[in-house]
Chains A and B, each alone.
Chain A
Amino acid sequence: MGIQPETRTGGALSEPLLAADPFTVDGVAFGSRLIMGTGGAPSLDGLGEALEASGTELTTVAMRRFSPAEQGSLFELLVEKGIRVLPNTAGCFTARDAVLTAELAREALETDWVKLEVIADETTLLPDPIELADATEQLVDRGFKVFAYTNDDPVLARRLEQLGAVAVMPLGAPIGTGLGILNPHNIELIVARAEVPVVLDAGIGTASDAALAMELGCDAVLLATAVTRAQDPVRMAAAFRHAVAAGRLAAQAGRIPRREHALASSPMEGRAQFL
């Protein structure tokens, strides 16, 4: 359909446990659980190499900043690499702006997927919860599949899901800060109550932040700045590819309980095993 290529395979690491465990959203399965943003990339080539190294199969683009009509644009790069585009409404401050931007994206890219961002102010870039809820309702009504970028508020995340969002995307920390996951407990709560995929979006600074997000039970991680503004974006993208995979495996493996006293991993005497 239009610009969107068939979902490509091969993005996942060659790990059989991961191959059997795709990230599914709105009925579409992805081998990679890392969604990449494109903002802040120093060059188109550098971005392409970083996307390649990240293994991502889904990439979000700010419709207000990139015109799909331009020859040689970012969109052509994504088509060339077989990466699906998730248009976003970055830069929108009202529900009205966001809906108009989403409509433009649907027209230009022939996709009804949209990552909904409605920002309250430029200093925090935090979502405006009221406009966000209104925009979600309007977009769902117009047939969009809404990926809602939201505060790390379990109540709001739940409301967005009830309004029809196909995924909720709570922030770990404000956009571009690299502060990591400031309220892991809230992320756990959001995950525990959600029936749609939860994507940790924004605030990621380095690989361990992404691994933690996955360990907290998120279905995927979305990040941009942490890679595009790293000194070596390709290396950092590869780090995130591994971190997201590691976090996913760890989350499913069932970690040991934290305990106060040491416990030798192999028994020192011939006592019976109680396990």
Chain B
Amino acid sequence: MDGHEAARRVDVAVIGAGVVGLGIAWEVARSGRSVAVVDPAPGSGASFAAAGMLAAVSEYHYQEEDLLGLMLASARRWAEFAEPLGAQAGYQRTPTLCVAADAADRRALADLRAVQEAHGLDVRALGVRKARSLEPLLAPGISGAFEITADHQVDPRRLVAAVLDRLGPDAVIRERAEGLVWADDAQPARVTGVRLADGRELAAGETIVANGLGARELAGLPVQLPLRPVYGDILRLRVPPPLRPLVTATVRGLVRGKPVYVVPREDGTVVIGATQREDGSDAVSAGGVYELLRDAQALVPAVAELELYETTARARPGTPDNAPLLGRVAARFAAGARAGVPAGGRDEGTVRGADDGGGPPDAAGLGHIPGLIVATGFFRHGVLLTPAAAKICVELLDGGTEERWNAFRPDRFAHERGRLDQAAAPRRTA
């Protein structure tokens, strides 16, 4: 628009080059559309930390059935998603072993298994001897083990590199996205691209917001996205050659009620993770590292012999129900974006003003804001959910996706949140 230099024009702009954004961009490119990804530092956020477990079954939690459906759909898609990327993407069908450290942990895993099986998931009780014959370095004192052959892995860093290679350098704009560009005079109001931090505009037929927690700072979003940082510490260790392989399966343990995992990589390293902290600190926590090593060692004592070569902390984009914010936004929220202020700084009153703003009537609840798709809030499951997110985004570009994915609409919290004006918000510490 006026005074802004146009960067260029593409069919689809994707904000965010983490695993999710890149996966979507790649799927979009394969659908024959021109695509550009906007990110100052691709693959440097949560994707840089992630272990890459594709654990639809073992990550199931009680009462999260909607999410389970999406996780299973995505897990089933992983092989075909990774196949054209070749070996470079680091996708492996490593099975998963869930190990209980003590009797109460075994009971907790057995209770969970009963529900997993009720959902038709395949979780096989192995017994300690059987588990140790498969993985001789498991601690003799473990209390039980369950095998989940459907949970695999990918190396997110290699995946990022592989997709960036396929997309080519021209598809990535290494600049921060400042906000969405709206066609103010259009009826209905629509998103027409991305305003970059350097002042340029990327014009796009459709814009997909996939920058994780960064979406909180993006100007011009029509609804406030209820994202919060859930920090995690994660370790990378090198296995000395005489100890290889440390484990052949991904070992997920419950140690005195606390989860820990050991993911073996092809190159003789392992990834041990991950803490969950909401303490506001993006630094690696010494206590977190200690607990991870302690608990991993309880399952695999030889962990003490490894070389610890990397500790990383990153924030996951958490949502109130642990499920992603994925889909289009109802047209009735369009007026909320007019002010162009960051989503976090707007009150609900602005959102409610749709009637006087010019968004199209949405009596049937079917209309959506043209030109905008949201794909963030993947929390612990970004890597696993990437193929499903990519497919759903392309289906939305094609005209619509399956009804059941409406459970993840990004505007599903729009009426519940934003009531903080009635009570003073906590004082922000500097």
Residues in chain A within 8 A of chain B (CB atoms)? 2-3, 5, 42-46, 48, 64-77, 79-80, 82, 107-110, 176, 229, 231-232
Contacts and interface: CB of A to CB of B under 8 A. Distances in A.
A46 B280 contact: no
A108 B426 contact: yes
Given A66-B278, A72-B227, A46 B321 contact: yes
B420 A69 contact: no
B228 to A, nearest CB: 4
A75 B279 contact: no
B344 A71 contact: yes
B contact patch SS: loop
A100 to B, nearest CB: 14
A73 B429 CA distance: 14
B306 to A, nearest CB: 23
5 contacts: A3-B423, A46-B321, A65-B277, A67-B278, A108-B427
Given A72-B318, A73-B278, A80-B417, 19 more contacts: A2-B427, A3-B425, A5-B423, A42-B64, A44-B318, A44-B321, A45-B321, A45-B322, A67-B279, A67-B280, A67-B281, A67-B429, A68-B429, A69-B280, A70-B280, A74-B278, A76-B420, A109-B427, A231-B115
Contacts of B111: 231
Contact of B426 (A65, A68, A232): A68
Given A70-B228, A82-B423, A110-B427, A42 B62 contact: yes
Contacts of B424: 2-3, 79
Q: Majority SS of interface residues in chain A?
A: loop
Interface in B129-169: none
B428 interface: yes
Nearest to B226: A72
Contacts of B63: 46, 231-232
A43 B321 contact: yes
Contacts of B84: none
Interface in B358-381: none
B429 A72 contact: no
B320 A65 contact: no
Given A69-B428, A79-B420, A108-B429, A42 B278 contact: no
B313 to A, nearest CB: 14
B426 A44 contact: no
Nearest to A85: B426
A3 B426 contact: yes
B196 to A, nearest CB: 24
Interface string B251-290: 0000001000000000000000000011111000000000
Nearest to B318: A44
A75 B322 CA distance: 17
B59 to A, nearest CB: 11
Contacts of B425: 3, 76, 79
Contact of B61 (A42, A72, A110): A42
B229 A70 contact: yes
Contacts of A72: 226-228, 318, 320
Contact of A48 (B227, B320, B429): B320
B429 A80 contact: no
Given A69-B280, A72-B227, A80 B320 contact: no
Nearest to B413: A45
Nearest to B294: A122
Given A66-B278, A70-B278, A3 B427 contact: yes
